[in-house]
Amino acid sequence: MKHPYKAQLLLNLKAHYQEQSWRTITFFDGRRDEILFVLPINEDIKSVFDNLLAVLTTLPEIDHPSERTVISFSDENGNGYCSRLINPNTQDEINLALIGYRPQRKVRPEELQELS
């Protein structure tokens, strides 16, 4: 398994949320390291996102070395995209020190096609 930490984190998050109507898309290749939850348009993405850190504290410990991971949420049209970086790497820390914030991205509609 190439990304054991992220794979276990994904399983833990899915078990916690237990939302049948949510889709999950992973981008574990390249620099993105992202778990993207795609919620139906009528869901309150902001409140789910705001509660993410509290959710992470309730999840079981993961017995793999930590990996840089972006956990994000969006609706089916790519609107309301928000993300949180956990376990930042050295380059993330340098970027934060140099520019004062982590660059944000927007999710593109083609990324939300039937991938999982």
pLDDT tens sequence across 57-99: 999 999 999 999 999 999 988 888 999 888 887 877 777 777 7
Instruction: Look at residue 87 in the predicted model and tell me its pLDDT.
Output: 84
pLDDT class for 11, splitting at 50, 70, 90?
very high
Does residue 82 lie in a domain region? yes
What pTM does this model have? 0.82
The CA distance from 37 to 7, in Å, is: 14
pLDDT band at 115 (very low <50, low <70, confident <90, very high): very low
Please report whether residue 116 resides in a domain: no
Does some domain include residue 77? yes
The total number of structural domains that make up the chain = 1
Structure-token pair, residue 9: 């984190």
Q: Residue 38 belongs to what domain range?
A: 4-111
**Residue 13 domain-assigned (yes or no):** yes
In degrees and rounded to multiples of 5, residue 74 shows phi and psi of -155, 160
- Between CA 109 and CA 96 the distance in angstroms is 28
CB atoms within 10 A of CB 62: 16
